[in-house]
Chain A
Amino acid sequence: MSKKFTKDHEWVQVDGDVATVGVTDFAQSQLGDVVFVELPEAGRVLEQGKEAAVVESVKAASDVYAPVSGTVVEANQALVDDPSMVNSAAETDGWFFKIQLKDASELDGLMDESAYKAFVEESH
C-alpha cells in the first residue's frame, strides 16, 4: 500500500495491520538539524492525533502525533542512536515507530502523496 500523510507532517506506510510512522521530508527540512528523538516504547497504546514522540533540533522541540490509533510494536532504535537520520532519510530509514492498527478506517481520513504535496505548497 502507498504512503499516507497527515496535515501535521507525519507519514504512514501500512503493511498488513502494522503501520510504520515517520515525519515527512518537508518536515525535516523545516526542523533543521535534528539532534534528539524520543520514541514511544513498545506496548504503549496511542490515540490518533495525540502525542507519540518528540523530535528536537538545537532550537526547537516538536511533538510528533500518532497518525492512527493502535499499539506500538517497535521503536526505531537506530534513529535514537543517530538522530541525523531524520534529516538524511526521513521517509525511509528514519522511520520513528511501528504501530499495530486499531481501526484501519482511520487511514481513510489521511492524504495521499499528491494531496499532501498540494497541501504543503498551499500552506507554506
Chain B
Amino acid sequence: MRYLPLTEADRQSMLEAVRATSVEDLFRDVPKAAQLAGPIGGLPNHMGELEVERLLGTMAAKNLTAGSVPSFLGAGAYRHHVPATVDHLVQRGEFLTAYTPYQPEVSQGTLQVLFEFQTQVALLTGMDVANASMYDGATSCAEAVMMANRVTRRKKAILSGGLHPHYRDVTTTDARFIGFEAVALPAAPTGGEDLLALVDDKTSCVVVQNPDVFGHVRDYTDLAAACQAKGALLIVVVTEALSLGLLTPPGDMGADIVAAEGQSFGNALNFGGPYVGLFAVKDKYVRQMPGRLCGETVDADGRRGFVLTLSTREQHIRREKATSNICTNSGLCALAFSIHVSLLGEAGITQLAQLNHAKAVQMADKLAAVPGVEVLNDGFFNEFTVKLPKPAAAVVEDLAKRRILGGVPVSRLYPGEMEDLLLVAVTETNTDADMDAFAAALTEILGSGVLA
C-alpha cells in the first residue's frame, strides 16, 4: 500500500516496544461489540493509481465541461481564464501541505501571502482592512450580518431582493438557528426597492448586492449614508469580484462591510467549490470581524515578519464567546486569488474588467436583436437578464442539446417564479464565434415553435 511506510518487521518491533500483542490489542478500549473483525464489507479493496484514474476519469467524462462549448453561466460562479502560473504555484508542496501558520517562524511564506491577500482585498473593495478569507461568498454574507448585529447590538437585517437567493438562504438559515431576524425582500428583477423605508431602530444592517443577482449595477452612496444616519450598517455583497476592477468600489460608496466571492480570480469553477469568501470592513470594526487575520510585526533580530493576530476573537480561545465558530479560512483558494491578482496587476485587472464588460455589451446587443428577446438591464457589468418568450429552463435544456451552455434560468434560483427570465454572463473566455453561435441557436429555438 503505497501511502504506508511501515513494514511488517517495523510493526512487529514497534508492538514489542509498546508491549502489545497486536495492533488490535491497542484498540482494547473500544467496546468489543463495535469492533469490526476485519476490513469493512461492501467496499472494494485498494487500487493502484491506474485503476483509480480509470474509474474517476470515466465519471469525469460524463460531464459536459464548460470550456468545451460556448458557455454563458454566471449567477455567482464565473468562468475566467486562470494563468498557468497560478496552478503551478499553488501545487508547490510548501503551500499545499502546510497547516494553518500557528508556528510563525516556519510559516512566513503562508503568512506573507495572507498579508498581501488582505491588502489586495482591501484595495479591490476600497475598504480599510480585510481578513484572511472565509468559506465562500454566501457564508461571508451571513457572517457580515452577524457582525453587524454585534456592532449595532440590534438584531434585524434587511436583505435586498437583488441578493443572490442562495446567499439569502444561507443568511436566513443562520437567522433561524442563531436567533436574529432577516427580512428578505421579494426578488427584484428590475429594481425599484425602497430599502431605507424598512430601516427602523431595530435594524442592524441592510444587505445589497452589486452587481445584483440580475446583473444591475447601482450606486449605493446615498443608501450608505442614510442607513448610517439611522444607526444601521450597509453591507455590500459582490459575487463577481472582477467587477471591482472597473466599478466604483463599495468602500468609496461608504459601505461598512463588504462580503464577496473571490472565485473569479485564480479559482476554477469546480462545480461550486471550493471557493474563497472575501470579507472587508472599516477600520473601526476590526475587532468585531470574524475569521483569521495576519499582522505585521518584528522578530527577535528586529526584522519584519508576520503573525496571526487578534486571535482572541476566535473560537479556540473565546470558546462560547467567540465572534464566530469558523476555524479555517480558504487558504489555498486565497493563494490562487492572490497569485492571479498579482499577475494581472493594475494594468491587467483594469483591462480584463473592461474586456468582460465590452463583451457583455456585445452579447446583450446580439441577444436583443433576437426576435422576442428583451434585455432587462440598463446598467450591468458582465452579466445581465433577458426576458424570453418561452420558459427559460426549457430553452436552456434545448441549448444544452446543441452543446451550448446558455445561461442560468432564473426559475432555477427561484422555483416557480420568473420562468421567462434567463441570466447570461459573458467573460473574456467567450469568443465572437461563441456569441454568434448562442444568438443563432436561440433564434432557431425561439422561432421553431417546438417549445410551448
Is there direct touching of A and B in the complex, by C-beta distance under 8 Å?
yes
B311, B318, B321: the one contacting A58 at CB < 8 Å is B311
Complex contact B318–A61 (CB within 8 A) = yes
How long is the Cα–Cα vector from A16 to B321 in the complex, in angstroms? 36
CA distance A57 to B311 in the complex (A): 10
Count chain A residues whose beta carbon lies closer than 8 angstroms to a beta carbon of B. 7
- Chain A residue, CB-CB nearest to B309: A58
Q: Which residues of A contact B318 (CB under 8 A)?
A: 61
Question: Inside 8 A of A61's CB, which chain B residues have their CB?
Answer: 312, 317-318, 321
The CA of A58 and the CA of B317, in the complex, are separated in Å by 10
What separation, in Å, do the CA atoms of A20 and B221 have in the docked complex? 45
Nearest neighbor of B287 in chain A, beta-carbon distance: A36
A118 interface residue per 8 A CB criterion: no
Complexed CA–CA distance, A106 and B9 (Å):
71
Docked complex Cα distance between A36 and B321 (Å) = 16
Say yes or no: B287 contacts A60, CB within 8 Å: no
- For the complex formed, measure the closest distance between the CB of A105 and the CB atoms of chain B, giving whole angstroms: 31
Q: How far is the CB of B119 from chain A (nearest CB, A)?
A: 22
- In the assembly, what is the distance between CA of A36 and CA of B286, in Å? 13
Q: Give Cα A61 to B318, complex, Å.
A: 7
**B26: shortest Cβ distance to chain A, in Å?**
34
Nearest CB of chain A from residue B144's CB, rounded to whole Å: 21
- B residues in contact with A47, CB < 8 Å: none
Complexed CA–CA distance, A73 and B318 (Å) = 28
A33 beta carbon closer than 8 Å to chain B: no
B residues 108-141 touching A (CB-CB < 8 Å) = none
Within the assembled complex, what's the spacing in Å between the Cα atoms of A59 and B321?
Answer: 15
A25 contacts partner chain B, Cβ-Cβ < 8 Å? no
Q: Please, which residues of chain B bring their CB within 8 A of the CB of A60? A: 312, 317
User: Which residues of A approach B to under 8 Å, CB–CB?
Assistant: 36, 56-61
List 13 A-B pairs, Cβ < 8 Å.
A36-B287, A36-B312, A56-B312, A57-B312, A58-B311, A58-B312, A59-B312, A59-B317, A60-B312, A60-B317, A61-B317, A61-B318, A61-B321
Instruction: Enumerate chain B interface residues (CB-CB to A < 8 A).
Output: 287, 309, 311-312, 317-318, 321
By Cβ-Cβ distance, the 3 closest A-B pairs, closest first, are A61-B312, A56-B312, A61-B318
